[in-house]
Amino acid sequence: MERKLKIIVERHEDGYVAYPIGLKGIVVGEGDTYEEALADVKSAIVFHIGTFGTEVIL
């Protein structure tokens, strides 16, 4: 089953931070560009769900 998560990407002075809405726990990605932060958080989401299982999805 495929689920869609909303990902928030914020611009800060020293780069970008991204985090998903709809997961239990803390999942954050970062990067120098929007695209890097988005790719980093997507990788972190896959790792988080792979580690803790689908029950972390709200």
Judged against a pLDDT cut of 80, whether residue 2 lies above it is answered with no
pLDDT of residue 9: 98
Asked if 19 contacts 41 with a C-beta cutoff of 8 angstroms, the reply is yes
Q: Sorting pLDDT into bands at 50, 70 and 90, what band is 1?
A: low
Q: Where are the domains of the chain?
A: 6-56
The whole model's pTM is what? Answer: 0.88
pLDDT at 20: 96
CA atoms within 13 A on the CB side of 49: 15
Residue range 9-55, pLDDT digits in tens: 999 999 999 999 999 999 999 999 999 999 999 999 999 999 999 99
pLDDT at 3: 79
